[in-house]
Amino acid sequence: MRLDFGNPGDLLRALLPELVLSGWIMVLLLVVGWRHRTVRDLRIAGWLALAALASTALAVFWLWWNTARAEGLATMIAVDDFRFLTAWLFLGAAALTVLLSFDYLEREELLVPEYYVLLLLATLGMMFVSGGEDLMVIFLGLELMSVALYVLAGINRKSARAAEAALKYFLIGAFASGFLLYGIAFVFGATGTTNLALIAVQIGSLDLARHPLLLIGTALVLVGFAFKVAAVPFHMWAPDVYDGAPTPVTGFMATGVKAAAFAGLFRVIGEGLYHAGVWREVVYGLALVTMIGGNLIALAQRSLKRMLAYSSVAHAGYLLVAVAAGSSAGAAAFLFYLVAYTLMTLAAFALVAAKGRHGESDVLIDDLAGLSRQRPWLAFLLALCMLSLLGFPPTAGFVGKWYILLAATEAGYGLLAAAVVLTSVVSAGYYLPVVMALYMKPEPSPDAHAGIRVGGPARAALVVAAVGLLLFGVRPNRLLELSQQAGAVVRPAPAVVPAGAGSPPAGR
């Protein structure tokens, strides 16, 4: 299906998933304005949010099934497999977060159905980030996502820790947005355009790879994205924000939001700034220090939630290795690992939420002692998440790290590949103590884990995550194939584009 963006009907078809989700957001706003006082109202809002995410996923599937492609040069929005696969990832992460939030919001007495509206708004922004073909669309998507998350982080108005998290996130997020916007301005000053494909054409045809304006702009754009993905040394906000926010929100920020920022970074580099002269060295350095810093700091954490926060920083380093590879193998490894990381991290935070109360900041690793004797299935799921985060076979985390190693070695980055292996060994120092506490330590008292409660929706989310981790660990071929097809379309445009012409992205 060829879509001519000069035709309003085709443009609407290209934007169908975003339009469907926007329509549902308006419906949900009306419902929330009408019913927002009881637990039943909260549940109605949650089920409507799930319906919105499911129907949006169907709209994405319709475009993918019909092999939708832009006729000529895409102007503002991409119509390719990369957009479709990442959109499914964001919608899936949001759906799992909704399922995890049902019982959590009721338990914490957060009767705020606006929570689900904000979650859908953040998801809509994420879809624009990964699907934007213009720097301004990507920036607006990032801001839509971020503003919704600032509110979600502090939505528990009874918690001083949540208020602190929201304020820190807002201030540092605004700072990061300033870097990104200044970078876009410098790139525009050097190339005369904000369209990614045309930026690549200008860099190639005018030999701008070492132009001072472009170098400065590229560096500032990378700094802005480094803040968003919590790469060292721009990560200091993440542990405090993750620790203070409600745990389902923390899981969503650590997975879907991080995936969206990485997808935007990958598209900006892969399509627009690939031939700019500074990005590879910067991403290489960021990957190295992020892997080392995230893992070493995580070793010192005794709080389970804070340990997972620093763990997410370390995994940002692994994803940056795939970005630095800049190859088709790197693209496939990047997308595969995004899916695996989302499943294992969301499930881990869900289990933290089940164990704790009032923000879960006080749940220590030692508090899990003997959980396998009282709640064997929960202990198994948490151990599975820890082993997958460590990269232990036969889990999806192991397969993802294996593909990242292959991409790094193929690109000639032996040091990065060695760092992936060595830091993964270091990470055993904080993942394995969790497994040891679950299975090798006695519970401190017979009723130590009596308060753990996992509702039906949360159980469904945990089962989906566990099945996905094991399935993609044993049979990764189909997901890897989809990742290769999606990653292959993110590439710079040719140096010369005839007037009125353009090559659509390759299909399946």
pLDDT at 140 over 80: yes
List of residues 6+ apart from 247 with CB closer than 8 A: 104, 305, 349, 350, 352, 353, 356, 359, 360
pLDDT at 469 over 70: yes
Q: What is the mean pLDDT of residues 106-132?
A: 90
Q: What is the pLDDT of residue 496?
A: 44
Q: Alpha-carbon Rg of the chain, whole angstroms?
A: 22
Residue type, 350: A
Q: What is the pLDDT of residue 357?
A: 66
Q: What is the pLDDT of residue 160?
A: 83
Report DSSP state, residue 368.
G
Q: What is the mean pLDDT of residues 189-210?
A: 87
Q: What is the pLDDT of residue 305?
A: 86
d(CA 272, CA 202): 10
Between vectors from CA 162 to CA 355 and to CA 88, what angle results, nearest 5°? Answer: 70
Band (493; pLDDT cuts 50, 70, 90): low
pLDDT digits (tens, 9 = 90+) for 238-289: 888 888 888 899 999 999 889 999 999 999 998 888 888 788 888 999 999 9
In this structure, what token pair is assigned to residue 259?
């995936």
pLDDT at 454 over 90: no
Q: What is the pLDDT of residue 497?
A: 42
Residue type, 315: H
Q: What is the pLDDT of residue 444?
A: 74
List of residues 6+ apart from 477 with CB closer than 8 A: none
Q: What is the pLDDT of residue 500?
A: 40
Total Cβ atoms within 10 A of residue 223 = 18
Q: Are 390 and 397 in contact (CB under 8 A)?
A: yes
Q: What is the pLDDT of residue 360?
A: 61
Mean pLDDT of the chain: 87
Between vectors from CA 259 to CA 253 and to CA 262, what angle results, nearest 5°? Answer: 120
Q: Are 169 and 237 in contact (CB under 8 A)?
A: yes
Could you give phi then psi for residue 134, rounded to 5 degrees? -135, 140
Pairing relationship of beta strands 69-70 and 2-3 according to DSSP bridges: parallel
Q: What is the pLDDT of residue 122?
A: 94
DSSP string, 7-62: SHHHHHHHTHHHHHHHHHHHHHHHHHHH--SSHHHHHHHHHHHHHHHHHHHHHHHH
pLDDT digits (tens, 9 = 90+) for 327-369: 778 888 889 999 999 999 998 888 888 876 665 667 788 888 8
d(CA 455, CA 102): 8
Higher pLDDT, 220 or 492: 220
Q: What is the pLDDT of residue 238?
A: 84
d(CA 18, CA 289): 36
Q: What is the pLDDT of residue 237?
A: 86
Long-range contact set of residues 206-209: C-beta below 8 Å, sequence gap at least 24: 208/276, 209/275, 209/276, 209/277
Band (499; pLDDT cuts 50, 70, 90): very low
Of 96, 63, 62, nearest in space to 78 by CA: 63
Chain Cα centroid distance, residue 271: 20
